[in-house]
Chains A and B, each alone.
Chain A
Amino acid sequence: MTDADTLLQLVPKAEGKQSMKDFKSDQEVRWCPGCGDYAVLAAVQGFMPQLGLAKENIVFVSGIGCSSRFPYYMNTYGMHSIHGRAPAIATGLAASRRDLSVWVVTGDGDALSIGGNHLIHALRRNVNLKILLFNNRIYGLTKGQYSPTSEVGKITKSTPMGSLDAPFNPVSLAIGAEATFVARTVDSDRKHLTEVLRQAADHPGTALVEIYQNCNIFNDGAFEVLKDRQQAEEAVIRLEHGKPIRFGADDAKGVVRDRRTGDLRVVTVTPENEAEVLVHDARSASPTTAFALSRLADPNTLHNTPIGVFRSVDRPVYDTLMADQLDAAVEQNGKGDLAALLAGGDTWTVVG
């Protein structure tokens, strides 16, 4: 039995058949009309019955930001916490309750700015968490300042002459932080989003899913090139494990390795170079190629943007290791005896 099977078995299954409706809470959804968050919420609510877990054993934990209102709308256990800290809070919950399926909902500001530290440490520990990072490349709830994923030169209220700082690439960051599962998807592509969620849910350990999400108020159309059918054909690279990385009209383009630098580049596929087209291996032990794939997209135009699962490898899960140590301690020293602990070694007796 794999680690994944073991972990999923710890969470009780739903007794009856579930439907999307079971996962809708009675709270009115308060995002702006047209926000990409609606699509993600619907996809998650639609996907949950496929998981088939008892909904009382599912917990959504979020930080602060538009996307972090998410738990209020899920009819599961949930906590809307404070800015940036959801991965830390979820870590304590997951590490102490292995019978729970714990999901973190966060945004680009929440996860990468104020909460950057917690995110990278959750990833390296490989706590059994599923982190949904809604990336709209802007601060929405505070009304439109640039975010750590905004492109350089972004004109916003706080950067009237353009932003100065280079953005984070969340997928690159996660791979650099020793993440065992890293994926990217797009809010409007329900089918793709659901498939990525399914793989994330199956992954033992921390799964980071970056979801490109449109903020139609402060950064409308940020991902249009990936959504417009005609443009997307040329811009989006769909990664599938075990398949050659090809895209474009008639799969005319492919990703090959530059023999001189080891880097990846996009070429027009010809009968001569077809054999050189890279076959995607998300399960490769080395993160090198996954990282190179994460650097392929042009950060300004978003051309050559890979979506799908970049990396999915098995590594011992923090919560499992912690539980194992508790078991080992009992095995080695017996179950804790409070009276013996308090007495310690050196005592003396006072007789009345």
Chain B
Amino acid sequence: MTSQVSSTAEQADGSVVGEQRKAAGAKDVRRLDRVIIRFAGDSGDGMQLTGDRFTSETASFGNDLSTLPNFPAEIRAPAGTLPGVSSFQLHFADHDILTPGDAPNVLVAMNPAALKANIGDLPRGAEIIVNTDEFTKRAMQKVGYDSSPLEDGSLDGYHLHPVPLTTLTVEALKEFDLTRKEAERSKNMFALGLLSWMYHRPTEGTEKFLRTKFAKKPDIAAANIAAYRAGWNFGETTEDFAVSYEVAPAAKAFPPGVYRNISGNLALSYGLVAAARQADLPLFLGSYPITPASDILHELSRHKNFGVRTFQAEDEIAGIGAALGAAFGGSLAVTTTSGPGVALKSETIGLAVSLELPLLIVDIQRGGPSTGLPTKTEQADLLQAMYGRNGEAPVPVVAPRTPADCFDAALEAARIALAYRTPVFLLSDGYLANGSEPWRIPDPEELPDLRVQFAQGPNHALDDGTEVFWPYKRDPGTLARPWAIPGTPGLEHRIGGIEKQDGTGNISYDPANHDFMVRTRQAKIDGIDVPELEVDDPDGTARLLVLGWGSTYGPVTAAVRRLRNAGESVAQAHLRHLNPFPRNLGAVLGRYDKVMVPEMNLGQLATLVRAKYLVDARSYTQVNGMPFKAEQLATALKEAIDD
């Protein structure tokens, strides 16, 4: 099987998109520049695993890719129901791509609920592979199909492949000593095999994965591999699948280097490990499990041999409390959470502002308010990160733009926290957290140096000449106070949440001192050195600037690309630093007649830039738990251009 894949891939070199030809076998092979596949099934059908495996195969083949896992908050919602549908969308291409795609070209529907929940997203002409075994009268009635959509003509506009996936899987595994129920469980691997054949994916990776995953149950490993191969062979032999497709590696899309596929939460975890190494400090994570942030806790817990301490606290407050305690002791301290957890941590973040200790608060945003949509994405915590504390409590905010960018954003957040002795928000979201893309693996030697100096001795001379240590005597450049950790002789000092006298850090209720300290803390954050905002305005004639932040980068860039391909002029800028803003942001905004800010909230960044720069920014918003679609954004931008 493997040799077939590689040989067809080689033969395809140099051929033209859309060209059709006969491969070594009898079947047609068609060349495509990109494909969007969506796997959909019941929560228990293993769709996330299937998607992950297809992604790994695609990554190792060298396509550019972008993924969108989409699953319910319930672990096992009632079987066969619409709320129980779990899906995984993958977009892969022979060129660089930016989003998981607007509309799938192929839907794999493991049951009637999966078909019903996803059919609305499919353009006419799309291919649909359905597991006919699950289309029983009862299962169809459960989701409101009065007649079978496979037979009543309602799918006439699509290219339907009815496949009895369950039966075929059970048949393929009859040699194995498995119950029917156990054998049925491998139907996702049969589907994966079929799709792997359709798109000429390499297979060794998945077989190796299955052998490792079920190392302790070799029978199960063998059964899954058999089902996977049976799916492949089914595609190869059955009449129904007359065509297979090639999507060539995206060699030209990537700078030279060694690549891997990586999700946002994994990249963020690695960024934290790397930041600790670059700062030469132990990493301490205080955290309480919460979707969609828990994977970072899980990942960091696996790396104790890097000196990483992970503490699963009794609640969100203790998670950040322990992290703050570790920061006082000289660790690179982190707490990870999502929106509701941030609400609980607010008071401690305020304390960290007052103590002026380095601390990273990682917020993997999800739909809100309250419990909201735990497994869906949103960007509605921006104002909470900016202002969600009592008193004047400024906190820097850094936001990654793509899954792989979570690595660099974590390093940048750590740089600011350490250099300025301040809590820093790292605002990722559910889309970045679970989505994945290729990542050029950095050489550790090229990572930034994040080392800072602990205070070693007295830093102030009293009038009588006595040398003393003042915990709030600031560096004149950064306004950062010294970081004096316990265990350092002669620097014993007390810090707390009560207002402190400038310099000495002693309790002070003096009105003028409070005014000074509030303004100084603000000035420290305002003065943080952040890179200038880059503007992408190729022909310099654009009158519309689209300003994004965080995970909208992919869809916004894709939309801008579409418009430019259609001959429109549009400028694009994307913010990594939300607090402080890049110094040139006001000037950039002033250069354009119109500014549009797309956000997955009700206009929070738009509110900030309108307030700060008096610019009449237009807000374009969506809060449906899903990322923007490129087409939709392109339409909105076109309307703004023409307006």
A→B interface (CB under 8 Å): 12, 25, 27, 54-59, 61, 71-72, 74-82, 85, 88-97, 99-100, 117-118, 121, 322, 325-326, 328-330, 332-336, 338-339, 341-344, 346-352
Contacts A91-B311, A326-B305, A342-B441: A79 and B256 contacting too (C-beta < 8 A)? no
On chain A, the residues within 8 Å of B258 by CB distance are: 343, 347-350
The chain B residue sitting closest to A30, CB to CB, is B507
B443-501 with Cβ < 8 A to chain A: 443-444, 486-498
- Pairwise interchain contact A89-B324, C-beta atoms closer than 8 A: yes
- Pairwise interchain contact A89-B322, C-beta atoms closer than 8 A: yes
Docked pose: A188 CA to B323 CA in angstroms = 36
> 6 smallest A-B Cβ distances: which pairs?
A80-B496, A92-B322, A92-B325, A88-B321, A336-B306, A352-B256
On chain B, the residues within 8 Å of A348 by CB distance are: 59-62, 258-260
- Pairwise interchain contact A350-B256, C-beta atoms closer than 8 A: yes
On chain A, the residues within 8 Å of B490 by CB distance are: 56
Cβ of B207 < 8 Å from any Cβ of A?
Answer: no
- Pairwise interchain contact B321-A89, C-beta atoms closer than 8 A: yes
Cβ of B114 < 8 Å from any Cβ of A?
Answer: no
Docked pose: A25 CA to B328 CA in angstroms = 20
Least CB distance, B428 to chain A, in whole angstroms? 18
The chain B residue sitting closest to A76, CB to CB, is B492
Q: Which of B308, B325, B442 contacts A89 (CB 8 A)?
A: B325
The chain A residue sitting closest to B315, CB to CB, is A117
> Which residue, B305, B348, B441, B489, has most C-beta atoms of chain A within 10 A?
B305
Q: Which of A55, A56, A339, A346 contacts B260 (CB 8 A)?
A: A346
The chain A residue sitting closest to B324, CB to CB, is A89
- Pairwise interchain contact A334-B305, C-beta atoms closer than 8 A: yes
- Pairwise interchain contact A350-B498, C-beta atoms closer than 8 A: no
Cβ of B333 < 8 Å from any Cβ of A?
Answer: yes
Least CB distance, A179 to chain B, in whole angstroms? 15
The chain A residue sitting closest to B256, CB to CB, is A352
The chain B residue sitting closest to A334, CB to CB, is B305
- Pairwise interchain contact B330-A97, C-beta atoms closer than 8 A: yes
Docked pose: A96 CA to B327 CA in angstroms = 9
- Pairwise interchain contact B317-A326, C-beta atoms closer than 8 A: no
On chain B, the residues within 8 Å of A59 by CB distance are: 328, 486
Cβ of B164 < 8 Å from any Cβ of A?
Answer: no
Docked pose: A343 CA to B311 CA in angstroms = 26
Least CB distance, B54 to chain A, in whole angstroms? 13
The chain B residue sitting closest to A342, CB to CB, is B441
Cβ of B506 < 8 Å from any Cβ of A?
Answer: yes
Least CB distance, B235 to chain A, in whole angstroms? 23
Contacts A56-B488, A72-B507: A350 and B257 contacting too (C-beta < 8 A)? yes
Least CB distance, B461 to chain A, in whole angstroms? 16
Q: Which of A74, A89, A338 contacts B274 (CB 8 A)?
A: A338
Contacts A81-B351, A336-B273: A344 and B62 contacting too (C-beta < 8 A)? no
- Pairwise interchain contact B333-A92, C-beta atoms closer than 8 A: yes
- Pairwise interchain contact A79-B321, C-beta atoms closer than 8 A: no
The chain A residue sitting closest to B439, CB to CB, is A342
- Pairwise interchain contact A342-B270, C-beta atoms closer than 8 A: yes
Least CB distance, B468 to chain A, in whole angstroms? 10
- Pairwise interchain contact B329-A96, C-beta atoms closer than 8 A: yes
On chain A, the residues within 8 Å of B262 by CB distance are: 344
Contacts A77-B493, A92-B286, A95-B322: A350 and B314 contacting too (C-beta < 8 A)? no
B→A interface (CB under 8 Å): 56, 59-62, 205, 251, 254-262, 270, 273-274, 277, 282, 284, 286, 303-309, 311, 313-315, 317-318, 321-331, 333, 347-348, 350-351, 355, 440-444, 486-498, 506-507
> Which residue, A93, A95, A97, A352, has most C-beta atoms of chain B within 10 A?
A93
- Pairwise interchain contact A121-B355, C-beta atoms closer than 8 A: no
On chain B, the residues within 8 Å of A88 by CB distance are: 313-314, 317-318, 321-322, 325
Given A88-B318, A330-B305, 4 new contacts (CB under 8 A): A77-B494, A80-B496, A90-B325, A91-B311
Docked pose: A88 CA to B326 CA in angstroms = 10
Least CB distance, A41 to chain B, in whole angstroms? 14
On chain B, the residues within 8 Å of A89 by CB distance are: 321-322, 324-325, 328
Docked pose: A96 CA to B282 CA in angstroms = 8
Q: Which of A12, A61, A346 contacts B60 (CB 8 A)?
A: A346
Q: Which of B274, B325, B351, B492 contacts A342 (CB 8 A)?
A: B274
On chain A, the residues within 8 Å of B318 by CB distance are: 85, 88, 91, 117-118, 121
Docked pose: A346 CA to B143 CA in angstroms = 40
> Which residue, B261, B314, B327, B506, has most C-beta atoms of chain A within 10 A?
B314
On chain B, the residues within 8 Å of A75 by CB distance are: 492
Least CB distance, B470 to chain A, in whole angstroms? 13
On chain A, the residues within 8 Å of B205 by CB distance are: 346
The chain B residue sitting closest to A15, CB to CB, is B489
On chain A, the residues within 8 Å of B495 by CB distance are: 78-80
Docked pose: A253 CA to B313 CA in angstroms = 45
Q: Which of A57, A80, A328, A349 contacts B494 (CB 8 A)?
A: A80
Q: Which of B273, B487, B493, B507 contacts A97 (CB 8 A)?
A: B487
Least CB distance, A344 to chain B, in whole angstroms? 5
On chain B, the residues within 8 Å of A339 by CB distance are: 443-444
22 A-B pairs (CB sep. < 8 Å): A27-B494, A56-B486, A56-B492, A74-B494, A79-B496, A88-B313, A88-B321, A89-B321, A89-B322, A89-B325, A91-B322, A95-B326, A96-B309, A118-B318, A322-B311, A328-B304, A336-B305, A336-B307, A341-B306, A343-B260, A349-B258, A350-B255
Contacts A330-B305, A350-B255: A92 and B355 contacting too (C-beta < 8 A)? no
On chain B, the residues within 8 Å of A336 by CB distance are: 273, 303, 305-308
On chain A, the residues within 8 Å of B441 by CB distance are: 342-343, 347
Least CB distance, B256 to chain A, in whole angstroms? 3
On chain A, the residues within 8 Å of B329 by CB distance are: 92-93, 96-97, 100
Docked pose: A188 CA to B351 CA in angstroms = 34
Least CB distance, A97 to chain B, in whole angstroms? 4
Least CB distance, B82 to chain A, in whole angstroms? 35
Contacts A88-B322, A326-B304: A338 and B444 contacting too (C-beta < 8 A)? yes
Docked pose: A174 CA to B307 CA in angstroms = 32
Docked pose: A55 CA to B497 CA in angstroms = 23
Least CB distance, B251 to chain A, in whole angstroms? 6
The chain B residue sitting closest to A345, CB to CB, is B260
- Pairwise interchain contact B317-A85, C-beta atoms closer than 8 A: yes
The chain B residue sitting closest to A351, CB to CB, is B256
On chain B, the residues within 8 Å of A342 by CB distance are: 270, 274, 441-442, 444
Docked pose: A293 CA to B264 CA in angstroms = 54
